[in-house]
């Protein structure tokens, strides 16, 4: 028995030393592609960081982030949490019927009130005399809230607060136009090819001249699509198929993306296909997150314009609205302060404005500037 214990101890020490050696040999990684985040880098020890424990706190994070075979250990941990310990979630991530979910909890009612104040302020500052609408996009959790044990935000209360407090804007309810199947299994977003009901409901309320039909578009398919929740789940999940819809109007649209400079700024496309094989393939839609982007429909001479205050969900919706407008301007208040908008957006002679935000943004509106 004593010999057996010595062998186990020796084997464990060899394992620890091997891991230590590998951690020294293997180069540091800048990012975790599976988690879509930057990894902790090694910090230089100074007398200041030594005495306030900052160095040790960062070193602990560094060791966890830069551990070799880290993703394998994450998978083992997730499997243990779900299958052995029978936990409902692993770091707020859970899987149900092949869909990956992330708990959007707690419900931040104060931030909902703050959202209405911000929208009212923008209206009072810039939008007098325009046709202004707002619509809220439910996150995936909304569709399982009635038959699941996890905690959920109060969607009804959220919409009630917004409807009671937002002034001079018309609410467009799209909750009943969506189902869980309209969302990616491994990502937070809706599928562009599932937006026809949404488009026609919005179009009817905003007095569009035409209905939307999928036969007017060519389908382009990319697979496999690993959404933002795929890596966070740390478990084998079947990837999605990403479909984007295009036609002559979209292909010939002129895109002015403020994220770029020089010649690159005016040479962008509605669909940035180079992003398909990047860290987040969803960035194919309008090149991903950007504070301000303007799209001109070179085939529409009506002069009709739309301004969308939005999050990333609108990136896949906006291209399908192009047929109705000469120009669409998209503003992301996560990256630009509303007080600067008059320096970036021409609000003169604009007709339509749409606030389009997901419940996740409304529940965390403190991230809007």
Strand order, beta sheet including 292-296: 170-171, 131-137, 352-358, 305-310, 327-331, 292-296, 254-257
If you average pLDDT over residues 345-364, what whole number do you get?
93
Residue 59, phi then psi, degrees to nearest 5:
-65, -40
Q: Which of 47-51, 166-170, 236-240, 325-329 has the lowest mean pLDDT?
A: 47-51
pLDDT of res. 16:
46
If you average pLDDT over residues 44-60, what whole number do you get?
56
Q: pLDDT at residue 31 above 90?
A: no
104 and 360 Cβ atoms separated by less than 8 Å: yes
Q: pLDDT at residue 179 above 90?
A: yes
pTM, entire model:
0.82
Q: pLDDT at residue 183 above 60?
A: yes
Q: What is the pLDDT of residues 305-344, one digit of tens each?
A: 999 999 999 999 999 999 999 999 999 999 999 999 999 9
If one compares 109 and 48, the residue with the highest pLDDT of the two is 109
Q: Which of 187-191, 235-239, 264-268, 309-313 has the lowest mean pLDDT?
A: 264-268
Helices (H), the chain: 2-25, 47-51, 54-65, 70-79, 109-126, 155-165, 196-205, 228-233, 248-251, 314-321, 341-344, 359-362
pLDDT of res. 275:
93
Where are the domains positioned within the chain?
2-101, 106-367
If you average pLDDT over residues 134-143, what whole number do you get?
97
Nearest to 165 by CA among 118, 231, 128: 118
If you average pLDDT over residues 48-73, what whole number do you get?
54
pLDDT of res. 22:
46
Bridge partners for 222 per DSSP? 242
Q: pLDDT at residue 133 above 50?
A: yes
Give the count of beta carbons closer than 10 Å to the beta carbon of residue 6.
10
If one compares 303 and 23, the residue with the highest pLDDT of the two is 303
Q: pLDDT at residue 151 above 70?
A: yes
pLDDT of res. 45:
52
Average model confidence (pLDDT) for the chain?
Answer: 83
Q: pLDDT at residue 25 above 90?
A: no
Bridge partners for 133 per DSSP? 170, 354
Q: What is the pLDDT of residues 33-42, one digit of tens each?
A: 555 556 555 5
If you average pLDDT over residues 221-239, what whole number do you get?
86
Q: What is the pLDDT of residues 197-226, one digit of tens each?
A: 999 999 999 999 888 887 789 999 999 999
Give the model's confidence band at 19: pLDDT under 50 very low, under 70 low, under 90 confident, else very high.
Answer: very low
pLDDT of res. 230:
86
CA 41, 44, 50, 52 dihedral sign is negative
């Amino acid at each position: 028995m004593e010999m057996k214990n010595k062998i186990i101890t020796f084997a464990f020490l060899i394992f620890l030393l091997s891991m230590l050696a590998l951690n020294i040999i293997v180069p540091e990684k800048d990012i975790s592609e599976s988690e879509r985040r930057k990894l902790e880098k090694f910090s230089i020890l100074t007398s200041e960081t030594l005495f306030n424990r900052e160095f040790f706190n960062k070193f602990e994070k560094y060791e966890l982030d830069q551990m070799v075979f880290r993703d394998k250990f994450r998978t083992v941990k997730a499997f243990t949490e779900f299958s052995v310990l029978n936990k409902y979630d692993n770091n707020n991530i859970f899987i149900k019927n092949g869909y990956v979910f992330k708990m959007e909890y707690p419900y931040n009612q104060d931030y909902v009130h703050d959202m209405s104040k911000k929208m009212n302020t923008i209206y009072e500052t810039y939008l007098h005399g325009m046709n202004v609408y707002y619509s809220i996009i439910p996150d995936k959790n909304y569709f399982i809230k009635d038959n699941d044990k996890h905690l959920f935000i109060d969607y009804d209360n959220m919409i009630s607060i917004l409807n009671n407090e937002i002034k001079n804007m018309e609410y467009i309810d799209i909750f009943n136009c969506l189902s869980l199947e309209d969302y990616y299994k491994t990502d937070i977003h809706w599928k562009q090819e599932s937006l026809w009901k949404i488009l026609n409901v919005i179009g009817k309320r905003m007095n569009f001249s035409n209905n939307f039909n999928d036969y007017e578009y060519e389908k382009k398919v990319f697979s496999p699509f690993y959404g933002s929740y795929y890596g966070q789940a740390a478990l084998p999940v079947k990837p999605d198929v990403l479909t984007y819809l295009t036609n002559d109007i979209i292909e010939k649209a002129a895109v002015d993306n403020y994220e770029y400079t020089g010649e690159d700024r005016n040479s962008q496309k509605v669909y940035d296909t180079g992003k398909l094989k990047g860290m987040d393939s969803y960035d194919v839609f309008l090149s991903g997150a950007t504070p301000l982007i303007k799209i001109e429909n070179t085939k529409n001479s009506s002069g009709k314009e739309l301004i969308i205050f939005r999050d990333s969900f609108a990136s896949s919706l906006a291209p399908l609205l192009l047929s109705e407008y000469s120009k669409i301007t998209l503003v992301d208040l996560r990256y630009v302060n509303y007080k600067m908008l008059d320096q970036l957006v021409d609000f003169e002679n604009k007709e339509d404005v749409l606030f389009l935000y997901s419940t996740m943004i409304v529940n965390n509106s403190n991230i809007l500037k």
